[in-house]
Amino acid sequence: MSYKSRRLHTFKLIPLRYNALLIFFLILLLADSAMAAADIEFFRMLSPEIHGWKKAGPPEIYDRKTLFRYIDGGAELYISYSMEKLTAFRYIKGKDEEIKVDLFDMGNSYNAYGVFSHGRESLSREIGQDSEYSSGLLSFWKDRYYVSLLGYPETPEKHQVLMKLGREISRLIPREGPLPPILSSLPTEGLIPESIRYVHHHVWLNSHYFISNDNILLIDPKTEALLAAYRSAGGKYILMLIKYPSLQQAQAAEAGFLKQYLAGASSGIKQLENGRFSGIKRSGTGLAVVLDATDKKTVVKALAKTTKQQRQHF
C-alpha cells in the first residue's frame, strides 16, 4: 500500500472510530439518564392516592455526597454498602399525618440484601424478596433496591396503607436479584436465619458482635463477611465467614486474629476469660471464625463443617 493510500485509509477510519466512540458515550449517557428517570418513575407510577392518603411531591433525590442532609447520623450505613441513590417522598393525610417512603438504589442485590440484613429481627417473604414489619415500619429488599416505609405512630389504617404501598413498589421492580454467593457456605444445621448479617465494614460487624476496635480481620469493601447465630446442644454460638480477594489478605487476617484475639492458641482454638470458646480456621481465601461457644467440641465441629462448605463454594 502506497503512502497516499495509507493516508486515505487512515482518514476513512478516523470518522468511523470517532463515530463509534460518540455512540459508546451516548449509550452510557442514555443509560445513566434512564437510571435516573427510573428512580423518578417509581414516584410517578405509584397510585396518587391510597385509602385517602395522597402522594406528595416532588420526590427528593440524594447520592452519597448529599445523603447526610437527609439522614443525620445514619447515612454511613448506606454509604458503606455503596449506595448509589435515594429517592424520598411522602404520602400525606390532613395536616400532620404522613408516611415516609425511602427507596434506596444500592447498585446491586448483594448490597440491598446487606442493608436489609443489618437490622432485621424476623423474616417474611410477604413483600419483595424478604420483608419485615414492626411498629409502623415496613422494610424490604428486592433486586438492587432496599425500601423503607415509615408510618409512625402506628395505626391499623397506616398499617393497611403501608402494606399496599409496599406491594405496589415491589411490583414495579421487575425482577428478583441474586443473593451473595458466600451465603451458600453457611451450614444449615442449627442456623437462625433471621440472625444472618452481610457486611463490608468492620464497624458494622462490631455492632453485632464486638471483636476489636481495630480492624484485625482486615474487612474492607472488597471482602465479603457474614455473621450468623447458631443453636447447639450446649447453647448458642456465633459463626463468621469472610471471603477475601487474595490469599495474602486471608493469611494476614488469620495471623492478626490469632495474635490479637486468640493469643497463645497454637491450635486456633482458645478458651477466653469469660469461659467461652472461640476458634478460627482458614480454607484458601476464606476464613471461618466461631465465637462464644460453650465448649471446644462445638468449635471443632462448626469449623470443620464450615470449611468443608467453603471448599465446595469458594
- For position 20, what pLDDT does the model report? 43
Residue range(s) defining the domain that contains residue 65: 38-172
CB neighbour burial string for 51-87, b if at least 16 within 10 angstroms, e if fewer: eebebeeebebbeeeebeeebeeebebbbbbebbbbb
pTM of the full structure: 0.83
Statement to judge: residues 140 and 185 lie in one domain: no
| Average pLDDT per consecutive 10 residues, the chain (314 residues; last block may be shorter) | 36 39 38 41 90 92 95 90 95 92 96 94 91 95 97 94 96 95 92 94 87 93 93 92 96 95 90 95 94 95 87 67
CATH code, domain carrying 213: 3.40.1000
In-domain check, residue 11: no
Could you tell me where the beta strands, DSSP code E, fall in 32-96?
A: 49-50, 53-62, 85-93
Residue position matching grid coordinates 486471608: 250
Domain boundary among 126, 153, 172: 172
How far is residue 217 CA from its own chain's centroid? 19
In-domain check, residue 29: no
Tell me how crowded residue 19 is: count the other CB atoms within 10 A of its CB.
10
State how many domains the chain has: 2
Statement to judge: residues 163 and 46 lie in one domain: yes
In-domain check, residue 13: no
Statement to judge: residues 138 and 212 lie in one domain: no
Statement to judge: residues 186 and 144 lie in one domain: no
In-domain check, residue 93: yes
In-domain check, residue 61: yes
Statement to judge: residues 197 and 301 lie in one domain: yes
- For position 56, what pLDDT does the model report? 93
